[in-house]
Structure formats: structure tokens, C-alpha cells
Structure 1
Amino acid sequence: MIKALVIVPYEGLFEMMKEIAQEVDDIQLQIELGNLYEGVAIAKGAENNGYHVIISRGGTASMIQEAVSIPVIDIQVSGYDVLRILTLVKGFSGKAAIVGFSNITQGAATICKLLDLDIKILTITNDIDVKEKLANLKKLGYEVVIGDVVTVQTAKQLGLTGVLITSGKEAITDALEETRRSYRLFSRLQQDVTLFQSILDSNEQAIGVINKEEKIIYGNERFNKEFHWMKLENSTDVKKLIQETALRREKQTKIVHINHSFWKVTSYPKKDAIVLNFEKNLPNQAILQGQDAILNAIEFHTSASYIPISGKSELIQKVLKQIDQYSKSEEPVWISGEKGNGKELVAHSIYLKRKTRNEPFITLRCDLLSAEQLKDLMNGDFFRTYANGVIYLQNIDKLNSYMQKELYQILKNENDKKLQWLVSSEDNIEEKVKNGTFHSDLYSILAQLKIHIPPLRERRKDIEDLVHVFISELHPKYGNGVVGIRLDALEKIMNYDWPGNVEQLKQVIEQLFLQSHSYYIEKEEVETVFKRLEQQEKNNETLRHIDISGTLEEIEKQVITKVLEEEGLNQSKAAKRLGINRSTLWRKLK
């Protein structure tokens, strides 16, 4: 049996709680009447009297939370409660305002914004603020004040109409359910901690947790066994991964070299920590050494993510028809289009429509695949082993001429087992074939079926659909309150040329989603993001005009000269922009 002390701030709620207490058989409810300080005085003895939780409302609940150590359940002001009161005061001719503690005003603000209601909302942090705020409202011509008990009492003293936001049965039912959850949580917490510890210790992966000071605060059994002898957080590669994860606030995966072994490290950002998962001895993966990281050139999937391709334009409808048509064949499909236009998405769609059993989807990232790796795949009979799968040659136009010839030999020598090939490249592939920079016979074999994805600027009709799809996808990821976009903001987005195509549009919508302060993305917010894009383009244009064939000192001098020109030869501004002082700037230009 849960023992709960209920402290209510007004008589009506007292009576309603008494009725509900008769219907509840798993919670013993002791109900007391007391507002703010009276409620706090009653609550202070609750823990010593064996109560498991305290149930209260509004400002009284807020003050009790600060005074006691046992859980305090707030009877939240629900949407129903606010709608009831707004309906009640709708007929008032005078100006209305909502004044109360945050647990009253937050819910009210949400409802008012969603319904576009012009009602002023003021949040108080203590009861002393109320009189001053209401007096100011009265001077501004407000006649009706909506709020909690303390607000209504003060309003009446000042000659204003005070309307109490009362709690309905729905809010009380929710509070009792929260009481049950809270009780279960605390009673099982220790048991769960022990269970989770044993699960983590039995995991074959090494799992570590790093706090915001970059210190290890937890390691499972495997982690402590592998890394007990070293300060892992001091590893350059691991430290860089931690910093990137903290900066980007999204999952990162890298291959790092620790103690003569390769580890696949996946990092996950949490509220005040970074979780690291370490996997050793990576199967079925070719590894490519980059300048500052080790990247996977081959990816294996037994399934692919299905994301519907959105758009109403004739151009994208033609692409969708081609996907359906070509999915019925096993012939190679060549997918072309500008960067960021969804070529991989088309490849995934064809694979999923062709799939009958557990055929793997294998991506060879041609921009990362080395000649030696391709030779290893050939010698290891890789293409015969996975002949029942779909092989996706991503960015095939990035292969050098030697690798193009080797790949042509593989395709030419196929015997009874016919591989299913999907290929992607940028738009200029036919030009490369004509001028001899891409193997014409290889193109002939792989381009039997072609899909061209037009750039976004040629199918602006699709932008509106894409914007709404991206907003809906971002809700579960961030839990933001954005529910749409204003028409003038959408018009701005539809008129932009989108050189980075769908991928760039998705990134911009994510920025707007995270930066928006209301339920709708506004035109001004879009303009701010576009100004940032224009500045980035200017910076890129500057870099394109810098000759990088010289020495580092010569390149550096070109950059400094260009920045000086852009800053009107103002050395102070140029030095500030470059992150150096004026004397260093002068010395580098000598």
C-alpha cells in the first residue's frame, strides 16, 4: 500500500480528492488543505510520519519540493484545464492575462501559442512577485487575471477579476498514476542497478563512460580487463573522438589503434557524459588508412533502411516509376545525379524491392577503396562468395583508370553466378566516357538501365513535401515543439537554388528546427540561416581562388592578403578574423 499525503490549495480540490479517495484501493490518501507556506509547514513532517510521496499543485507543489526529500507529485495543469478556463473567459470584454508559477504558465503558454490566442503570460518565482506584477497589469488596462490561488486572491484585493485555473478529474487521475510510477521506480531502483551491472559485465564489448571533464567514471568488466593498465582518455584518437562527440552531440564511429590492435569505437552523447563501446577484430571489413582516421571502405547489411522518396513533381514521379520497373529485373542500374540528391536512397529502394530472402546489401565506397583492397577482394574470391547479394558501387566515377580496368575484368568474366550491381556517379559521367577518363566498356556493362535524379532546383514542387517530411522526422529525434512552417518562410526556401540538393535542405531544416523559438519556423529565421549559407559560399569562393600548389608559407600569405582585401585593408579586423595579433599579421606579410 502506497501512503500519500495530499496538500491542496483550495476547497474545491479538497472535496474532489475526498471523492476520488473512495475509488482508490492501492493508495492511502491523507488530504490536507493548505496553500503555499501553510502547505510547506504540513509537508515538513510527512517523511517522519511514514509517507512515501506528497501530492500537491501549482506554487504549493513547487515550494514543497524545495523543503522535503521525498518525491513530490505535482497535479499538473492539463490542456483540458486550460481550455476549460479559456472557454470560460472568452466572453469577457476586458484584456486578460495568465499569471502563476512555471508549472501553471508553461502548459498555458503552450495552449495559447497553438491556438494563436493573444493572452499575456507572466511567470512568478515566489508569492511576493504577484502583487507587483498584477498592479502593473492593472496600469496597462488588464481587467481579467487567470492563475492559481495566490494570483486570484491578490487580483481580488486590487479590484481585478480573478479566475482560478481549477484541476479536473483527468489531472488528478494522472497525478495518482504518476504516484504509482514514482513509488515503483524508487522501490525497484536498487534491484535494477544490480541487474544492469551484471548485464553490462557479461557484454563482450568493452563499455566505458567519460564525464564532461573527460575522466572515466565507469567501465564494465571487459573494459577494465582490456584497459586497466592505461589512462585511455589520454589516447590521442580516443580524446579526439570524445571531443567531436561532445561538440556535435551525435553518435560517432571510428576505428582507432590501441596497443597494437584495431578497435571499432562507437561513442554516444548523453546529458553529462559520453558512452564508449569498443569492438575488437572487425569481421568482413576492408580497412583504409586516411590522413587522421581509419575508415570503412566496405559496408555489409542484411537489410537497408527504407525511407520513402517524397515529391509530387513529374520528374521525381518518373524516378519512382523507374525504381518500380527496374526492381523487377536483375540487370545493373546506373544512378546519376548531383551530390546530396539521394542516390543511395534510390539504391536502397531497388534492393528492398528486389529482395526475396536474406541477400546482403554490400556497399563498396569507391572514393575510399584502394587498388590493393580491390585486388584483395578479387584474390579472396569475394565477388563469388556474395554472388547472391546486391553490390552497390557508390561514387564509381572516383575509381582511377587501373581500378576501372580491374573491375571491368571482374564483370566480363562472370560465369553462371550473375552479380546484381547498383552503381552511382555524379552527372558528368557521360562526358568522362567521351573524353576517355572513364572506361567506356565498363560503363556499357553497368549502364544498361539508367536513373537520373534531377537537382532540387529543377523540381521545386517537391520542396514543400520534403520540408514537412523532415520536420516530422525531427520530432522523435529532438522532441522539439515545432509543428510547421509559415507560408512566407516556405516561399523563401522554395525559391532558393539548393546547390547541395536534398541533403543540404535536410541540414538547413534541422538547423531551423533546433533554432526556432515557436511552433512555426518563421521567415526571419530562414533569412538568418541563408545569410550564413551565403557567407560560407563566399569563403568557399575565396578558397577556390587560392593557388595551393605553392609552399605552406606562400599559401598562408595568399589567405592573409585575401582577408585583408575583404576587410578593406583594416589590419585590426583582418587579424581578429584570422585569430592572430597585428604584429604576427605584419610579420607574416613581410
Structure 2
Amino acid sequence: MIKALAIVPYEGLFEMMKEINQEVEDIQLQIELGNLYEGVAIAKDAEKNGYHVIISRGGTASIIQEAVSIPVIDIQVSGYDVLRILTLVKGFSGKAAIVGFSNITQGAATICKLLDLDIKTLTITKDIEVKEKLMSFKENGYEVIIGDVVTVQAAKQLGLTGVLITSGKEAILDALEETRRSYRLFSRLQQDVSLFQSILDCNEQAIGVFNREEKIVYGNERFNKEFHWMTLENSIDIRRLIQETALTREKQTKTVHINHSFWTITTCPKEDAIVLYFEKPLPNQAIVQGGDVNLDAIEFHTFASYIPLSGKSELIQKVLKQIDQYSKSEESVWISGEEGNGKELTAHSIYLKRKTMNEPFITLHCDLLSVEQLKDLMNEDFFQKYVNGVIYLKNIDKLNSYMQKELYHIFKNEQDKKLQWLASSEDNMEEKVKNGTFHRDLYNALSQLKIHIPPLRERRKDIEDLVHVFISELHPKYGNRVIGIRPDALEEITNYNWPGNVEQLKQVIEQLFLQSHSYYIEKEEVETVFKRLEQQEKNGALTDIDISGTLEEIEKQVITKVLEEEGLNQSKAAKRLGINRSTLWRKLK
């Protein structure tokens, strides 16, 4: 039996391989999600655990080949795959380019020539080239970038629309056949895990080893359970701690905030590496685990996801100009607008445009933050510790009067520091300040610059662009089905009032994408979803379930009703039902 590990860079390919795997008898296939160096880490672990072959795709496959000694099979991008994506991007009005490794671009360039398509193709050899190349494209007026996962991610960070070239079933079957051939030629077994590593894995401490380039070279079982390698390698606190240890050649001890927890880290210098010992959280964190404080109230990142605000309307263009203008300043920005309209996305955009190194992006969810937790942060000098960071006060209008006053004192004390503040709220803040329900000085301090995001119903011109962006994002997530929307279906969507704004539009498009039976979203499918929304608004509760049908039919009714109760929010519905989102929509088909 061939023991193979497939490391795929996006969820759609993951689901497709799971389906094909059910028909394969001679390959014991394990499938994992992982892209580029994340995939390399997974591949190295697989090599240690006795896998015979690694299967991957694109740039991830190229990098893994250099990191492991077992055969690496590349899932090739077929002409059919390229043609399907080129058809999908016809709905975009801007200039498009294809950028990627040679295993992505070779076939794409040929097809563009055959079809006489004006799409420029550029081949890269290293992932570090991507950002520079894409910046050049952006300066030359390109808006749409087609390519592999690394290209699409970089495109989005630069404010471009990224469209992923997905692999079809034929390419996967070819890769499995190549796996069989490679196994017959290069099959080899890995050595057993050493006694030393077993001892480390049994240790209750989380232990990680970093090289002088601040890259993780080893982590024991507790370490890998508690932390994601990318989170630590991107942490400016961890990097500084390693640098200090390497410079002084002496042990260092420091408290660092990682994954919503405070950890005490002790370093030990070795010849060519630094060993980090992570102690269990501080007493404050024990209180958190005891239930007095909400863990989700604080999010701590040294990077933020970037999805560009899309639209051609004058209203959204004004918002985009304000983001660019305010990003050149370090003054506080107050972002207002209705729920689901992109306030957090705007905060992320400002942060990324202001960012120069690894300044942390810290989100305080003011609707979840408790008085006790705010006091704990003040007692531990949290705001002094991250004076170079950006604090985003999400839903600041949900704070009680006491916390508003305390927050104003924090702001005044940190005014001479480099700490930057972003805040978001609903639209009625002037009224709240006027009637005394919100602290006037705090509002004046944090609203030196203001951005108002208009509701989607006031900028219907943006809906078409948003629909195409959402479809392109869903493609790599769920597979290669829907590639567009019928004009009459788009008209129905454009005429809807969207009380939940952009977030609701995104959820509806995701539902339509997953329930569609063809390559294009049809008008009838849109009308069905809108009828469900209207019925939900009328009833306001779960209707009776007809139990006269089959188990599968009853199950489908339950899922549909729960989804309606949760306002078409697939994440909440899936969580409530105890299943993942892919399973939820598969059961609805």
C-alpha cells in the first residue's frame, strides 16, 4: 500500500481530493491544507512519519521538492482548468494578467494566444518576486491578477482582485497515476523517531527551537499543539527575544502575548540555535479560563487579512480616498456605518497601509470586553508594552460609561507614545454624545479623522463588482463550479435593499454558489433565496418540520430552517448544528 500525503493550498481542492480518494484502493491518501512554507512544514513532518510520496500543486510543490528527500508529485494545471478561469474573469472590467510559477503559466500563455486574449502572462521562479511584480502591474493599470495561491494572496494585499486557477478532477487523477509510478521507482522508508524526540514530546512544557534566522526548526508536541509556526515567526516580540539571546549569549526571560494568552518564555542559547521554553499562562490568564473574562474580546496579530473594498460608486471611491489619505497620518480614525458594511475591513486597510515593520494589530471587541479584563490590561501595562502597535476599538459605542472613562485616561496617558488608535461604531454617535450616553472627550479624542461607510442600498453601482469578487473568492474555497451570474439574476440582486449590507450580500452569494446546479447563478435561484429571507422576516421563528418524509429530507428541512434563523450566516448555522460549512451546503444540495 502506497502511503501518500496530499498538501493542497485551497479548500476546494481539498474537498475534490476527498471525493476521489473514496474510489482509490491502492493508495493510502492523507489530505492536508497548506500553502508554500506552511506546506513545507507539513511535508517535513510527513517525511519523518514514513510517508512514501508527497502530492502538492504549483509553487507549494516546487518549494517542497527542495525541502524533502521523498518524491514530490505536482498536480499539473490543465488547459481545461485555465480555460474555465479565463471564462470566469470575463465579468471583470479591468485589465488582467496571469502571474505564477512555470507549472501554472506555461499552459495559460498558450491558451491566451490561441484564443487571442489580451492577458499578459509572467512567470516567476521564487515567491519573493511576487510582490514586486504585482506592484509593477498595479502601477500600469492592471486590476485583476490570475494565478496560484501565493499570487492571489499578494494581489489582495496590494488592493488588486486575485483569481485562483483551480485544478480539475482530470489533473488529480493524473497526479495519482504519477504517484504510483514514482512509488515503484523511489519508494523509501524513514527512520523511526528518536528516543530524544519522544522524551521532548512527553514534556509538559512547550519547547521550540529557532535558528539564527529566527525560523522554527523544531517544536515538541505541546509546542505544535499550542502554537502555529507562522504566528511565532511573525511575532516581533519573539524575534527580538531571539536576537537579544543570540547577541548576549545569555538566558533571557520575557512575557509575551500569543493567541489570546500571556506566556512566560525563557530562552537558552546553543551553538547554532536558540531554544525557547514556554511556561503556562500568567495568573491573569487563569482568570480568563475561569470564565470571568471573554477570551474572544482581544485579537492580537502582527499581520491582518486584506480584502480590497470594491465598487465604482462615488460614495465608495470617497471612502477609498479617505483610507489612502488617512493612512499617511498617525492620528486616530473613527469609522462609522451600519452593521455588515466593512468597518473592520476599513480598519485593516488603514493598518496595512500604515505598517512599516511588524507593528501588532490589536482588536478590542468592545461589545465583549469586560471591566475586569480592561483593568487587567492596565495593570499589566498592556498599552505601554505595545506602544508601536495599532489598537482597533471595534464597536466602541457598546462600552459602558465607566469603561469609556477608563479608556479616555489610557488614551491621554499614551498620547505622547507611538500607539495608534482606530475605532468603529454605528452612525448615531453625535446623538449619543449630545444626550450624554457617550463620553464627549473620548469621542473628540478618537475622531480626529472620520470615515463614514454608506449602506449598500445607497451605492447599488458597487453590487456587480462585489458579486464577481465574491464568486472568485468562493471558487478556490469550494471547488470549480459556478463561474458567473446571469444578467437577470444580477438585476434581482442589485434591486434588493440589503439590510445586512455587504456581509449579507456575501452570505447570499455563498449560498447561491453552493446551491447552484449549473455554471451560472440563475434568476430563479435568487428568487428562492429572497423568498426565504422574506418568510424569515414574517415568521421570526422556526416553522414546523414535516416529519413525513425520508431522513435525508427531514435533515435538509432542519438545516434550511436553522440557516434562516441565523440570517443565512453559514458559520453560525454550521456551529449550531455541529458540522462544518462544507458539510452543511453539501447536505442542502
Highest Rg: 1 or 2? 1
TM-score (norm 2): 0.48
Q: TM-score, normalised by structure 1?
A: 0.48
Which of the pair has the greater relative contact order for Cα pairs under 8 Å at 6+ separation? 2
